[in-house]
């Protein structure tokens, strides 16, 4: 059967593969020319060949005969090829090896292809494409690699996973409080830092604009229940009701639901675990700012006890705490620490936390 119309459903799909979003959706891509088709075949990526009716191939894959006009439409070359391969994307190997090449924001397809070819020659085990890199299956990248990329382990990752930076997660309970929370946000932005805010639903409901500012400034919004209830005295259904009410208030304020929950007082029992669908975020450094209400004492506690991987507990409803944040952030930055959200900390350290897991720090987690 010869396909001559671009209205054919198969051809319509293959035309879409020129765009990254469809390559991602279908998990397929196109290659052009005999060399790339053969290389894809050798790597077990080739699913189908599109050729004109009078062409022949010895490759053992399904063949679809198409008109020259369709080949021209599918081709991205100035001089279209007589053969096009439909391929499945290569599966990433989670075993990265010892020799890695990390690439950050390489946007030129030709440059990326050249780097991949060279990395093969230098014995690189895995090429890691960070955020902002051009799509590996862009037709210009594929041509530039000359098919070498089919035989290599190339993965997409957030390069923070490979960072040697010292990370500390700052967390703030009981807010938001208009004025105080905005000052904390300003201090974080000034020092290239972010934090997780465990909000009371009733306060989020009262200060929706502040909630929105927290999220829009790149920080993380999480739940601290509706009104600081001691959860173990509740049934699982009542715990869920608390969290649903809080999540709805936060969503109404900023369009995003809490990513995690911190039970008040860190109090957890089986009903709490059953009633909450997210990880339970606790802390490894308690500043006791709620008790001392002293700026210097809070700063001293952080500098004495906080280390890489820690989660620090504070309360943005207290002005001395706000002043402590303004004071301690530049000191930590100078010491080489990056202050981040809880989610960023766990991701950077390669830690996954699920429903009911109690997270004290990046290195101290009690699984459900």
In whole angstroms, give the CA distance from residue 249 to residue 244: 9
Task: Say if residue 321 is preceded by a cis peptide, omega within 30 of 0.
Answer: no
CA distances 57 to 10, 34, 210, Å, are: 21, 10, 65
Closest C-alpha to 214, from 148, 246, 169, 258: 258
Q: Is 195 helix (H, G, I), strand (E, B) or coil?
A: coil
Instruction: Judge contact between 166 and 337, C-beta under 8 A.
Output: yes
Closest among 18, 13, 138, 8 to 65, alpha carbons compared: 8
Beta-sheet strands, E only, within the chain: 2-3, 28-32, 46-51, 63-66, 83-88, 100-103, 126-129, 153-156, 166-173, 196-199, 220-223, 280-281, 285-286, 311-315, 337-340, 358-361, 364-366
DSSP letter assigned to residue 61: S
Residue with tokens 């009633």: 275
Does residue 356 come out as left (phi exceeding 0), alpha (psi in the -120 to 50 range) or beta? left
Give the integer Cα–Cα distance in Å for 168 and 210.
24
Dihedral angle sign, alpha carbons of residues 71, 20, 103, 99: negative
- For this structure, is 315 an active site residue? yes
The token duo for 196 is: 């997780």
Residue by residue, DSSP assigns 73-86 as HH--SSS--SEEEE
Q: Which of 173, 174, 289, 310 is catalytic?
A: 173
Q: Is 24 a catalytic residue?
A: no
The two tokens of residue 257 are 């639901």
What does the alpha-carbon distance between residue 115 and residue 104 come to, in Å, rounded to a whole number? 12
β-partners of residue 168 are 339
Catalytic residue among 174, 289, 310, 315: 315
Could you give the residue numbers annotated as active site?
A: 173, 315
């Amino acid at each position: 059967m010869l396909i001559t119309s671009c209205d054919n459903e198969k051809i319509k799909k293959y035309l879409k593969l020129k765009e990254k979003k469809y390559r991602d959706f279908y998990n397929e891509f196109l290659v052009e020319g005999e060399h790339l088709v053969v290389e894809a075949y050798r790597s077990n990526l080739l699913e189908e060949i599109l050729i004109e009716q009078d062409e022949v191939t010895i490759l053992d894959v399904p063949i679809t005969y198409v008109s020259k006009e369709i080949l021209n439409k599918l081709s991205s070359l100035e001089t279209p090829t007589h053969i096009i391969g439909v391929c499945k994307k290569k599966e990433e190997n989670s075993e990265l090896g010892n020799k890695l090449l990390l690439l950050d924001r390489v946007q030129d397809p030709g440059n990326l292809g050249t780097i991949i070819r060279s990395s093969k020659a230098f014995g690189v085990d895995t090429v890691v494409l960070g955020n902002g890199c051009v799509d590996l299956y862009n037709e210009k990248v594929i041509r530039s690699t000359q098919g070498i990329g089919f035989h290599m382990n190339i993965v997409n990752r957030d390069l923070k996973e490979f960072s040697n930076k010292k990370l500390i997660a700052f967390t703030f309970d009981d807010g938001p409080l208009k004025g105080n929370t905005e000052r904390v946000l300003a201090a974080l932005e000034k020092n290239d830092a972010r934090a997780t805010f465990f909000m009371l639903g009733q306060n989020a409901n009262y200060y929706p604009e502040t909630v929105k500012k927290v999220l829009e400034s790149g920080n993380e919004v999480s739940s601290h229940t509706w009104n600081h209830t001691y959860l173990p005295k509740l049934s699982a259904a009542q715990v869920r009701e608390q969290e649903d009410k809080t999540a709805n208030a936060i969503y109404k304020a900023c369009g995003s639901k809490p990513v995690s929950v911190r039970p008040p007082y860190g109090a957890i029992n089986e009903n709490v675990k059953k009633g909450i669908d997210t990880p339970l975020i606790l802390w490894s450094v308690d500043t006791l700012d709620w008790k001392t209400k002293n700026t210097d004492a809070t700063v001293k506690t952080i500098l004495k006890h906080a280390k890489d991987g820690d989660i620090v507990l504070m309360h943005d409803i207290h002005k001395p705490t706000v002043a402590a944040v303004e004071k301690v952030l530049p000191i930590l930055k100078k010491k080489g620490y990056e202050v981040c959200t809880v989610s960023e900390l766990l991701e950077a350290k390669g830690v996954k936390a699920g429903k009911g897991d109690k997270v004290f720090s990046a290195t101290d987690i009690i699984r459900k």
